[in-house]
Homo-oligomer: A and B are copies of this chain.
Amino acid sequence: MKTIVINTGTEILLGDVLNSHLSFIAREILPLGLRVDRQLAVPDGEAIRDALSESSGQAEIIFVTGGLGPTTDDLTREITAEFLGLELQHDAAVMAAITARAARRGFRLTDRTERQARVPRGATVLPNENGSAPGLYIAAKATGKKSPHLFLLPGPPRELKLMFTASVLPLLRKIVHRESVVDRRTYRIAGMGESLVEEAIGERLLGINGLELGYCARPGEVDLRIIGEPAALAQADAIIREGLGASIFSSDGGILEEVVVKLLTERKQTLAVAESCTGGFLAHRITNVPGASAVFLAGYVTYSNDAKEGMLGVDPRLIASDGAVSERVAKVMAEGARQKADAAFALATTGIAGPGGGTDEKPVGTVFIALATADGAPTQVRGFRFPDDRPTFKELTTQAALEMLRRSLLA
């Protein structure tokens, strides 16, 4: 069944928000054998009608996101009802849910709130546990003319996600009547460029019948995606594991911080981090993982030199002689953090994120990463050059740090 996602919202086309709906919906529907064949984004207003009109002939399932809220630019409900020739009716149950939610949260209702309780005749209401505007499902048979299954979903991602899992997926299962035999797998690879990954395994994978292959380069990572039936996937899996080995850090969708927290948890080890240039991002990535509190003890965000001295015991003479961004300061930071937090491992970062602060000898992008361990092994220090914008610099540095720890945990 052909599937189209229509994202409505002038804010998307003006670039005020990133479209996260497409990604979420695509991942949720794949196990049902459904793929998004096309996605389009249109502004609020009449363009929604055009998008519905042209997509209705191209797809059996259409998801429309956004434009169900209370404000004057929210028009999806009205335009869709008019397009399908379905009258809008006040739904008392929806209104009661909106009123109860507002009371629970201490919100006051405004005059416009009632619009969210209007439901096209024959549509199924999809409850919104995380917001006030409900979603709507209009079955293919509900209108006279040939029409697709139509899902109207709210714009705020938290609202859409919960509604999708709770209400949309059960409806989709009835529509498609089966789970798919085609599956996907994504291998995440650290420490190798895209071309080298393809060189290592690409030719051999191209020989597998019915295998769909994709490469995606990300900061400090290459994601290799394969889609196919179980036999093709098994054949590919053997080639990929043989060719890439320990460079693969996950094949179940896990991101690097999740893999590291899992390895630490399994090995009953603890971690502290000392961050200068990454400014808390390393701790943030680790603490994003549910259950991180079992292994992560403390983070020392020592942005100033005084903080490096006071919090980690870095000798000011060392900073004076070598500079705060240096191999030896990284080493002492990691060792200080490990001892102070009484952790099995400690990672430290010190570098020049830019845009200012670079010198001829140490240009913007220079960074040192250290890993101290409790097992008596010498502290590892590695130098990198990531001459990138500030967010990418932080991303690449924390990725390299987590990968150093992962490799050490595997050894």
A108 within 8 Å of B (CB atoms) = yes
Contact B10 A15 (CB under 8 A): no
CA separation between A297 and B12, bound complex, in Å?
37
A32 nearest CB across to chain B (Å)? 14
Residues facing B in A256-286 (CB within 8 A) are 273, 275, 278-284, 286
A47 nearest CB across to chain B (Å)? 7
Residues facing B in A198-218 (CB within 8 A) are 198-199, 202, 206, 212-218
Contact A194 B69 (CB under 8 A): yes
Interface string of A389-411 (1 = CB under 8 A from B): 11110100000000000000000
Interface string of A107-142 (1 = CB under 8 A from B): 111101100000000000000001000000000000
In the complex, which residue of chain B has the Cβ closest to the Cβ of A14? B26
Contacts known (A107-B195, A298-B301); A288 close to B283, Cβ less than 8 A: no
Residues facing B in A347-376 (CB within 8 A) are 354-357
Residues facing B in A71-123 (CB within 8 A) are 71-73, 107-110, 112-113
Among the interface residues A22, A25, A216, A275, which one has the most CB atoms of the partner chain B within 10 A?
Answer: A216
Contact B392 A158 (CB under 8 A): yes
Q: Which residues of B contact A388 (CB under 8 A)?
A: 130, 158
Copies of the chain in the assembly: 2
A400 nearest CB across to chain B (Å)? 15
Contact A40 B40 (CB under 8 A): yes
Contact A299 B303 (CB under 8 A): yes
Contact A22 B16 (CB under 8 A): no
**Residue in contact with A303 in the complex, picked from B73, B279, B296, CB distance below 8 Å:** B296
**Residue in contact with A298 in the complex, picked from B36, B109, B303, CB distance below 8 Å:** B303
Segment among A168-176, A231-239, A244-252, A306-314 that sits at the interface with chain B: A306-314
A8 nearest CB across to chain B (Å)? 11
**Residue in contact with A22 in the complex, picked from B12, B158, B202, CB distance below 8 Å:** B12
In the complex, which residue of chain B has the Cβ closest to the Cβ of A193? B107
Contact B72 A206 (CB under 8 A): yes
A184 nearest CB across to chain B (Å)? 7
Residues facing B in A23-62 (CB within 8 A) are 23-27, 30, 35-44, 47
Contact A298 B288 (CB under 8 A): no
A143 within 8 Å of B (CB atoms) = no
Contacts known (A38-B41, A199-B110, A215-B71); A390 close to B288, Cβ less than 8 A: yes
